[in-house]
Amino acid sequence: MRHRVTIENCNETYPCSEQQTLLQGMEQLGKRGIPVGCRGGGCGVCRVQVTSGNFLKAKMSRSVISEADESKRIVLACRCTPTSDLSISVVGKMEKALRAECQVEPEDEVSVAAVV
Amino acid sequence: MAFKGVLRPGLIQIRVLNMDEAINHYQNILGLNIVSTEADGRVYLKGWDEFDHHSVVLRQAESAGLDYVAFKVDSDDYLREIEPKIVAWGLEVDHVPAGEQPGVGPRIGFTLPTGHRIELYHQIDMADDHPGITNPDIYPRRPEGMGASRFDHLLCYGPNIGKAREFFCEVLDFYQPEKVDLPEGDGSLAIWLTASNKAHDIAFVEHEEPGKLHHVAFLLQDWNEVGAAADIISINDVSLDIGPTRHGITRGQTIYFFDPSGNRNEVYAGGYTAYPDHPVRSWDFDHVGKGIFYYERALNDRFLTVLT
Ligand code: FES
């Protein structure tokens, strides 16, 4: 079953199956938005906050996701699979780079301009 | 013997999130052989061309990353004599008793100003499954997966790498084949250090967070094996970082990927032969892209910032 994942920071939406992690779904379609690092729950660059929707999560490195993070639904996109449509917001340390990256996508330039 | 004191990085203990996934990766993908699994859950492995009992130790933990790297030294006398020199340089030394790892004698340990734990040891049993000695065949049998022959080196990220260089060169008699200079001042952004003829046994990049692991590298024979490693990475959907490519620095041929817990691995072939009398090769900051990735000639964010 496929669900829609919306990255709030740059208004990107992509389909993601229940067999894929949020990061795989994005990466495989050549979409951008969530920074891609180790894809194994170790490095923490793919930190996102799930603002709505349900998901399953696998083990994540404690040094990059604390228990407090988890209670705020801050997780690693490479360790979570969707079980419903999701909205997420990128909160990792590369969030700044993401803003620059969103602007590279031609269709996003419009939305960035609209916000500004 | 011209080759004295520290011989090589011989043991590395890596933290993994899930042991079954880690075993599959290090055994079937990299091609290391499992030596033993101990009561505390740690798993011991070695490359096919290593004589010592093991070289890689996997420990399941809540966080990925590096526990420590241990260098093998040439004698018990050296181990005894080096301890007061390490203390005099300003590091606190602790003792790990024989048998803490199977087949390994006493070790001494200390923490560098970069936040990394380093250990030294001399005694380790010879592996049962070692390379040939009498009329030796080139290898005992065709290795699995990428066929990594041995643990080769590691790259650490942390603060005070200038102090780490001073320690390795002044206390442990390493030398520095290569470095990348900072854009301003006389410090280094990155340093390559060796106790041997290899272009690096250990390398450091200046980084504010202490004790971080950038990658653990394993040796392959040549470019063809690096290409085959790339095939294996795709066949098995292993998380690729970059490559196959080449380094300007060390000249090694390489591919980087991640273990299932996010620890970066490298398999590596070639590179120049280092000697202590050679000049230190230097890269200015403006040329660092070509230094790290000789073909791409540009660094990428992931390579610089993804650490465990
Ligand atoms: S990409 Fe490294 S933790 Fe997700």
- Assess whether pLDDT exceeds 80 at residue A101: no
| CA distance to B8, B53, B69, B118, per residue, from B195 (Å) | 7, 21, 14, 14
Helix pair A106-115, A95-104: axis angle to 10 deg: 110
CA B306 to ligand 1: nearest atom: 2
Is B287 catalytic? The answer is: no
Q: Residue A41 pLDDT > 60, yes or no?
A: yes
Structural domains of chain B sorted by starting position, each given as residue range(s) with its CATH number in brackets: 6-121 (3.10.180.10), 150-304 (3.10.180.10)
B84 Cα: distance to centroid of ligand 1 (angstroms): 42
% of chain B surpassing 90 pLDDT: 92
**Per residue in B173-185, pLDDT tens?**
999 999 999 988 7
Quote the CA–CA distance of A22 and B2 in Å, as a whole number: 55
pTM as predicted: 0.93
| Strands (E) located in B220-288 | 240-246, 252-258, 264-270, 281-283
Catalytic annotation present for B153: yes
Decide if B64 and A59 are in contact by the 8 Å CB cutoff.
Answer: no
Question: Highest mean pLDDT: which of A26-35, A91-100, B48-57?
Answer: B48-57
Candidates B186, B210, B184, B205; CA nearest to B249 is B205
- pLDDT at residue A105 tops 70: no
C-alpha to C-alpha distance for B189 and B180, rounded to whole angstroms: 6
B200 CB-near residues (< 8 Å, 6+ apart): B153, B177, B178, B192, B193, B194, B250
Could you give the ipTM of this predicted complex? Answer: 0.91
Quick one: pLDDT at residue B304? Answer: 84
Residue A93 sits at the chain B interface (C-beta within 8 Å): yes
Interchain CB distance below 8 Å, B264 and A45? no
Residue A103 has pLDDT above 60, yes or no: no
| Torsion angle (degrees, nearest 10) of CA B99, B104, B110, B116 | -110
Does B205 have pLDDT greater than 50? yes
Q: Does residue B137 carry a pLDDT above 60?
A: yes
Given a cut of 80, whether residue B114 has pLDDT beyond it is yes
Q: Please tell me the distance from the alpha carbon of residue B245 to that of residue B296, in angstroms, as a whole number.
A: 8
Rounded distance between C-alpha atoms, residue B137 and residue B126, angstroms: 18
Helix (H, G, I), strand (E, B) or coil at B290: helix
In the predicted structure, residue A78 carries a pLDDT above the cut 70: yes
pLDDT digits (tens, 9 = 90+) for A43-54: 999 999 999 999
